[in-house]
Amino acid sequence: MEISAQIPSFKNFFSEKKGQNIGVVRSTNYEIPGIFRLDSGKTLSRIRIEYEMYGKMNADKSNVILICHALTGDAHAAGFHAGDRKPGWWNIVIGPNKAFDTEKYCVICSNILGGCKGSTGPSSIDPETGKNYGISFPVITIADMVNAQKKLIEHLGVKQLFAVAGGSMGGMQVLHWTVSYPEMVKKAIAIATTASSTPQQIAFGAIGRKAITDDPKWNGGNYYGKERPVQGLALARMVGHITYLSDASMQKKFGRVIQQEEADIDRSPNFQVESYLNHQGDTFTKRFDANSYLYITKAVDFFDLSKNGSLIEGFAGVTAKYLVISITSDWLYPPYQSQEIVSALTANGVDAKYEEIRSQYGHDAFLLEEGQLNYLIRGFLSQILVSDIMNQNFYSVSRDETIENASILMVKKKVSHLPVVSEDGKLEGIVTSWDITKAVACKITELNEIITRDVKYVHEGERIETASSIMEKYSISALPVIDSENRIIGMVTSESISALIGRFS
């Protein structure tokens, strides 16, 4: 028995080192050779895919992680473009000592097919006409986006991705990857997403598209080289942005702060939240194409991985190990939708882990909650063993030792646990400082009388989550580490585990 210690309660491991930024990066463009056939049966030629790569591939290219961006994202996920003041959209988790550690992994992010940030989309030039595609661009699906990514990955010589990860629409791509190409994905991380778009989600997409197509400047999609439908696109963004927030985050950020006291129905916003949404809409129109917005939101609406009405059947054949993360305040893709994904995966025998990010930020938390994201993702990607953290310079005693000598050794070496070992080094028991304190009070002198023989231990090849769980369950703060022949080879303590839990801010 011992005095209860503060046992580190954690589910996954990640480094104690602070994450670092990548630095200046640049995009690369790959043109898919030949004809690219779409889900609809229509074809495109000379498709270009914009992508960025962070870190280096190892010799067998087994350390590659593909990042899939959300609705209006792009290939610039991390680092800085020359002259930019803001980093890539997921810089908080990509870089040295971050969840997607670029000193260990080669991380790739590409702009989706249908996008407007370097990859082929409605704003691109149709090689057959020499003009912008506009709405002559064929309808695309999430599957088409994934198939284009696969062409890129094959071009880079990667046979299997160590992981595919993404949030929101990026999560949909993750799901599709594991369904369409199970042999190519080892691990999958799907965050704040769904396996099938709901009527509510479709409704918000429909409002955004209506705002764009009702703008006279949209001109049937033929606005290139002319005045663009900025009012419609801005309104679409304003509506969409509301769904990315939560009531709690809006209350905290804006409350009912008045921007302008005098009511002006037609022009100036009265409340701070109105001004904020106007700014979001205006800023968005400077970086995004209205037609791309139409096509991509429609692809999201059509997304449905169920088969014959069954999500379990839809996930048949998936082999990737999964981490599915939801956000407590997300009302666009509520937690129950992530839970449905996990249920369907586990029904197929897939190793699927479910976690929740506790946040008031709403759907956008997958872009903001740095600490929780790094903790969960890094722990999932890492396989840290007891042998990585055990102390091999431990102290032990024999069962014939006196309590006095054991006590002196504990004080001198500043340890609270002494394994009791046989002559050949095998574990026979353990004595704690609490045992010795009790023995002194009871005037017991022989160590053999106070030894705990039912010892909890771990093997060097076990994961540190196992050691932590044992410590929590039995309220102990140290465990002997033994080999296959029951010989003690080290000690692992709650302090050594706590030292590994990095803190991101």
Rounded to whole angstroms, the Cα distance separating 319 from 182 reads 6
- What's the rounded Cα separation, in Å, for the pair 464 and 7? 13
Decide: 316 and 348 in contact? Cβ < 8 Å: yes
The residue whose two tokens read 């992994």 is 105
Cα-based torsion angle of the residue sequence 156, 160, 163, 164 in order, rounded to the nearest 10 degrees: 60
Q: Is 48 exposed, middle or buried (CB count within 10 Å of its CB: 0-12, 13-18, 19+)?
A: middle
**Helix segments in 398-454, DSSP class H:** 403-413, 433-441
Query: What are the residue ranges of helices labelled H in 165-214?
Result: 169-180, 199-213
Determine whether 270 is exposed, middle or buried from the number of CB atoms within 10 Å of its CB (0-12, 13-18, 19+). Answer: middle
CA distance 263 to 261: 6
Task: Please indicate whether residue 363 is annotated as part of the active site.
Answer: yes
> Which among 363, 396, 435, 494 is annotated as catalytic?
363
498 catalytic residue (yes or no): no
Q: How far apart are CA 335 and CA 356, in angstroms?
A: 8
Catalytic site residue from 74, 101, 301, 330: 330
- Angle between helices 169-180 and 290-302 in degrees, nearest 10: 50
Closest CA to 231 of 245, 210, 200: 210
What are phi and psi for residue 336, nearest 5 degrees? -60, -30
Query: In the 3-class helix/strand/coil scheme, how is 117-174 assigned residue by residue?
Result: CCCCCCCCECCCCCCECHHHCCCCCHHHHHHHHHHHHHHCCCCCEEEEEEECHHHHHH
> Which class for 340: exposed (0-12), middle (13-18), buried (19 or more C-beta within 10 A)?
middle
Q: How far is CA 249 from CA 243, 244, 252, 253, 357, in A?
A: 12, 10, 5, 6, 15
Catalytic position from the list 168, 197, 329, 494 = 168
Clarify whether 279 is annotated catalytic: no
Q: Token match 């591939």: residue?
A: 57
Collapsed DSSP state (helix, strand, coil) of residue 472: helix
Distance CA 353, CA 52 (A): 29
Among 376, 378, 368, CA closest to 324: 376
Catalytic residue IDs: 168, 330, 363
